[in-house]
Amino acid sequence: MKLALLISICILIPFKILTKKNFEPHEFELNNGLKVIVLENKRAPVIAQMLWYDFGSGVEEKGKSGLAHFMEHLMFKGTRKFPENTYSNFISRIGGTENAFTSYDYTAYYQVFPKSQIKKIMEMEADRMTNLILTKKNVEIEKKVILEERFQRIESDPSSQLDESMKSILFPNHYYGRPIIGWKHEIEQLSYEDVIKFYKENYIPNNATLILSGDIDLPTAKVYAKRFFGRIKKGDKNKQIQTINPDFKSSVFVELFHPTVKQQIWKKLYRVNSYKSSIKKGIALDIGLKILASGSASLLYEKLVNEEKKFSAIGGYFQGLAKGSGFVYFYAIPANNIGLKKIDEIINVEISRILKKGIDIKRFEIEKKKYLFDSIYEMDGILNPAQIIGESIHSGLKVNELIRWNEILEDISIQDIEKELNKFHKNKNYVLGVLDS
């Protein structure tokens, strides 16, 4: 299973642009509250099914971090009708693929398979929504697997440890500050009873969206969705308490020293508004940061790496798909071992110089066109459209906003880009970190 750690962006597909030509969703809702979205694409006799649950680690009680991700693992343990690995073995036998992932705001399960197997796949997916069979033994076994996963992903990786610490400081009053996989000491204390309670409270049809993409039409989707999911009873949906992080009044610096670190790494994590706050401002910031810090052709890389050779690498990106705040992640590897504040000063001075000079109009036009062209590639295929729409609507956006994405992009000017970059540069809600030996 995949774990959606927002800082290391293990699985997140970059959110791009959706057009009416390649994006024509049809929606309906069952009586039990299950939402269904159909994206018809008949280029090949293949279907991608994604079941998105409208919760991630954000619904966990304090002191029980990691439950959502733990439950994701356990959803593969089987039901009475389809015991143990029956579901996974069937998918493998028909030449399909499957996986799952947990984020802060959602949990998702997907399968890609031949069109002819749609009934069986939907039947098995619906069955495990409500009929999962768990024992204390397989819960304890899976707990060890997750603890080992945490060790491999975080505890044996100093860079991930630093990210985890910085994230907890940046979001002191929000679940974005907790690791999705959970804190080690809290995972160790999770019980069979905790798991069962979480499953019964959250795995309900009115907490989910089924997305079917590929060679399936709307009438067929309605028939099978009603047949297999329509019998499941609606549950009481948990209400998440909305919290707001306070603005920082002082600078925060985090240093992590580890003997295995061979090269000093500087990081800076900003808390910013997400697409949910404003799609137009989010796109403008995203394009602006691509010009400023994305890849070897970016302005910061050209100046500080290629020309002045003060760094061997530098980069940054915007993650704006979130129900709460988004974030901007910056990193740099200095050519020589220098202090945390000195690195920050060098980068800040260069950003100030770039913004004072202004963004070149040709560079802006190229990046804007690239942003559009990339979307065509991202929306190609069977699984990608389902992934993009699912991730977006479970991060607080609406389908009609996605359809209008190109219109919003077209309206963005170079002045919009510069405005958002200047606003970002003045942002004091950040944490500085350095990894050293």
- Report CA-CA distances (Å) from 261 to 336, 409, 435: 14, 41, 7
Q: Which residues contact 53 (CB under 8 A, 6 or more apart)?
A: 106, 107, 108, 202, 203, 207, 208
* Catalytic pick among 24, 27, 72, 401: 72
* Burial class of 398 by CB neighbour count within 10 A (0 to 12, 13 to 18, 19+): exposed
Contact 83, 127 (CB under 8 A): no
- Contact by Cβ (8 Å): 54, 229: no
Helix (H/G/I), strand (E/B), else coil: 256: strand
- 110 forms beta bridges with 50, 99
Burial of 241 (0-12, 13-18, 19+ CB in 10 A): exposed
Residue from 385, 394, 313, 384 nearest 347 by CA: 313
Place of tokens 């809600």: 429
Report how far residue 198's alpha carbon sits from residue 59's, in angstroms, rounded to the nearest whole number: 9
CB 317 within 8 A of CB 329: yes
Amino acid type, 24: E
86-93 helix and 118-130 helix, angle to the nearest 10 degrees = 160
CB atoms within 10 A of CB 159: 18
The 3-state DSSP class for residue 241 equals coil
Helix (H) or strand (E) holding 102: strand 97-102
* Angle, helix 192-202 to helix 67-74, in steps of 10 degrees: 80
Place of tokens 């760094």: 311
Q: Tokens 């959706």 sit at which residue? A: 18
Residue 125 catalytic?
no
Active site residues: 72
